[in-house]
Structure 1
């Protein structure tokens, strides 16, 4: 079953993947907050990956973690140089239909 934070992440996918460099203090903050394991952090910060690839990996990891991980992501974005991205993600509104579909586990981007 999907949760609202997953829909908010999905609705902000392009902005997150193209507007953030997660190899910076974002990954460090999430690691320190115990959102990312050592292996996950190493995978994200792999020097062979492009910025977009690293961001996509982090997105995928966070998508399946709990709402607490989403909250820590917003904190990490604010802590870094991405206050504008965090603000936009926080302002993301969900329609009543999206919330209802999320509650019954049938959300598919409409």
Structure 2
């Protein structure tokens, strides 16, 4: 996995190609998901193919975001860091935290209910 590390004063950002995913696209919309101790905020991301998704780990523990079918993963996201991934056409659906499915998020290609 290749990574470009961009250091900031309080947080490090890493742009990665997730296992099975696609590289971030600098010309597309970016969505942010905050990783908390026991949930994602927001838990549903309304995105388009080619958009970027930034996972920001605000919890005290390292975290791995992954999906089962089709399979993709961010790899380890250390506390206080973030990872940006590109959204591929097959990534729509549920993703989970740390492999135990204790909490869940979702990527949806539907129109956001707040867009109306």
Query: Does TM, normalized by the shorter one, top 0.5?
Result: no
Which TM-score band applies after superposition, normalised by the shorter structure?
0.3 to 0.5
Choose between structure 1 and 2 for higher RCO, CA contacts under 8 A separated by at least 6 residues: 1
Larger Rg: 1
* Structure with more strand by fraction: 2
**Greater fraction of residues in helix:** 1
